[in-house]
A and B are shown apart, each in its own frame.
Chain A
Amino acid sequence: MSTKLKDLVKKEDVLTSGHRLCAGCGAPIAVRQILMGAPDDVELVVANPTGCLEVSTTIYPYSSWNASYIHCAFENAASTISGSEAAYRSLKKQGKLDDDYRFVVFGGDGGTYDIGLQALSGALERGHRMVYVCYNNEAYMNTGIQRSGATLKGSWTTTSPHGKESYGKTENRKDLTGIVAAHNIPYVAQASIGNWRDVVKKAQKAFDADGPSFINILAPCHRGWRYPMEKTVDLARLAVQTCVWPLYEIENGEWNLTTKPKEKKPVEEYLKQQGRFAHLFKEENQEVLKSIQEYVDKEWERIKRLSGEKE
């Protein structure tokens, strides 16, 4: 399938305009880029857990989705889509349905890293053919910027505020992509909305996979990260250039780096553009800044090693 812009722009939008996400929100960009990788000759069922994307795209009696859509609850998008996919297989094998369908979830990091992790793990283990996309903005944005398992160390959120005795979130994020990869599913990837062609390629592979696939896509939120709204895509790109968010894929167990920054930029360049990290640039938080760089370096080396890259 083509990843040429002139071909991709001809594809019909599945998420249409008129939704009520914030101007400058990373989530609909992620959705559009991913769905550019969906095959043309299939129908889609889209599921959302509770979150920004859900509340802003299906305000009754309107819907922005030019596809079948389901929202059930917060922690169960993966199990809800499991049921839909099982129904599809059942009806298809009984000859009650002719059309070809693909099943795709767009869940935030709250609904994926944290409250929805069990349902996701179960669905991956059972092998449902679905594309699970985590649009990762590193906090619970729908409820007003609370920390999640995806929030970077040092980050301010409303439940990890910095104060006299605190520099913000004290824990490093969990490696969800690695956790998903440990389920040995056909396709797992990390992506960023700052690298659109890479996203489309990965989405194409994810939709092609004969089984579950997972894409963890960085989708910045200017309300939560505290930066000017026009910088969303720039920040998503900078996260890759600083190796805070490495782009890689695991195809049938094979790790591959899909983007190697020409010059690895210091993490500070990324952090200083965001209000959520502003307090880290105070004298007393120098050590925290250092530890974030160390964490990023260590993770980057680990992923390079797994991907067979030379040191």
Chain B
Amino acid sequence: MAVKNSKTVAIVGNEAVAEAMRQINPDVVAAYPITPQTDIVQAFSAIAADGLVDTELVNVESEHSAMSACIGAASSGARVMTATCSQGLGLMWELLYIASGLRLPIVMPNVNRTMSAPINIHCDHSDSMGARDSGWIQLFSENAQEAYDNIIQAVRISEHPDVYLPVMVLMDGFIISHAVDRMDMIEDEKVKNFAGERSAPFTMLDPNNPACVGAFDTLHGYFFEFKRQQEEAMANALPVIKNVANEFEKISGRSYGLFETLGMEDAEFAVIAQGSGAGTIRHQIECLRSNGIRAGMIKLRSFRPFPAEELIEALSGVKTVAVFDRSTTFAGGMGGPVFNELRSSFYEQENKPLMVNYVYGLGGRDLSVELVKKAMEEILAMNSSGKAEQKINYLGLRE
């Protein structure tokens, strides 16, 4: 869909996110700086200092307090955002569960950086993967444009009455956060209208209807039922993510879904990837296709909820699936989290593709064109022989 955009800009991912936050104009932002997320907080602080937003900016003393303040503010009816990564997300861990358990719509960019030790400030997905069972929606971005677009859509997904769950927008540290990218910005007014006003089902600041938030549940209480409802809400998010994307396309001209496909209509084998690595992989898939090789690709956008049924359908025609994971599970040779979840999704299927895993890029190790090319040659060989010599592969590891 062709939509006239107000402005094409050259921008780094962190500033793109700060710009989305400016346009959304949240009531409260509580955040703590951490590399490589810092520029989001800095840029937004400058925006707030210039009076461009109504936001109360709370410069907390830790990420733990950042998420705590977000929980307090969201419970008070405010539209709330924060940002973090890596150790900061780790410090928030218990509160991630509280935010989702209280069903609070909080939007948080997480600038993916690995977890120590050894200390390393560069990209992999181990931080957000550690939070994959915390009840947060997790949307991956490939570049600054997608990070910006995801932030705007996240507000609507998070606040949808069928969902009421917090959303983490994932963007690769440095590769997206610090690299200058070409991006189309939507007009302020359009974003404002798209985001709308938050309408909360309860707020602590309603004198006629005081709220009790975070009540104590006992052994014979309702805990199990709450958790079941959370699972339901996560499943509800699948159509909501699609519907919000459809609406978003009308103001942006850009189309989103649960994942993006390339060449899947005739692909014999497919690669699945998420985040910035998808760009390098796409280039290689396109090269193969221009040589008449029926290669395909799926770029996963929504990791939580995990669109298992949709993925099975999209992959129904392929013989081989190679999953690229930028983190591992430390399960003792089981490979990365996306690989495990996709394999599990196929368990009931009669026709299962051959599945292999490529763990790559830990601690920021570069995913070069050469490496992807090497992997493609291996995948092609596996696809022809119908056998995987090695199920779990470490791409770019010095051995």
Instruction: List residues of chain A with CB under 8 Å of any chain B CB.
Output: 43, 45, 47, 54-55, 58-61, 63, 65-73, 75-76, 78-91, 93-94, 97, 99, 101, 118-119, 121-123, 125-126
Q: Does B162 make an interface contact (CB < 8 A)?
A: no
Asked whether A88 and B205 contact (CB < 8 A) given A82-B72, A83-B69, the answer is: yes
- B residues contacting A by CB (< 8 A) are 27-28, 30, 54-56, 58-62, 64-66, 68-78, 80, 94-95, 98, 204-207, 210-218, 221-222
Residues from chain A with a CB closer than 8 A to the CB of B64 are 75-76, 79, 119
Number of A-B contacts (CB under 8 A): 168
| A39 nearest CB across to chain B (Å) | 14
Question: Is the Cβ of B65 less than 8 Å from the Cβ of A70?
Answer: no
Q: Considering the chains assembled together, what is the distance between the CA atoms of A65 and B213 in angstroms?
A: 11
Q: Which residues of B contact A73 (CB under 8 A)?
A: 68, 94-95, 98
Other-chain residue from A69, A99, A121 in contact with B212 (beta carbon distance below 8 A): A69
- Closest residue on chain B to residue A20 by CB atoms: B216
Q: Which residues of A contact B80 (CB under 8 A)?
A: 83, 87
CB–CB A55/B216 < 8 A = yes
In whole angstroms, what is the CA distance A181 to B55 when docked?
30
Most chain B beta carbons < 10 A, residue from A67, A80, A83, A88? A83
Taking the nearest CB of chain A, how far is it from the CB of B290, in angstroms?
53
Contact A87–B65 (Cβ < 8 Å) = no
| B205 in complex: contacting residue of A58, A93, A101, A121, CB < 8 Å | A101
Which B residues are in CB contact (< 8 Å) with A72?
68, 71-72, 95, 98, 214
B205→A118 contact, CB < 8 A: no
In the assembled complex, which residues on chain A have CB atoms less than 8 Å from the CB atom of B28?
A: 83, 86-87, 90
| New contact pairs (4) apart from A82-B69, A126-B59, CB-CB < 8 Å | A68-B204, A82-B60, A97-B205, A118-B65
Q: Check A91 against B78 for contact (C-beta < 8 Å).
A: yes
- Contact status A90-B69, CB under 8 Å: no
Chain A nearest CB from B87 CB (Å) reads 15
Residue of A nearest to B222 (CB): A60
Q: Given A59-B218, A81-B72, do A91 and B61 touch, yes or no (CB 8 Å)?
A: no
Q: Which of B56, B74, B212 contacts A63 (CB 8 A)?
A: B212
Select the residue from A66, A86, A97 with max chain B CB neighbours within 10 A: A86
In the complex, chain B residues whose CB is within 8 Å of the CB of A80: 68-69, 71-72
Residues of the B chain whose Cβ atoms lie less than 8 Å from the Cβ of A94 = 27, 54
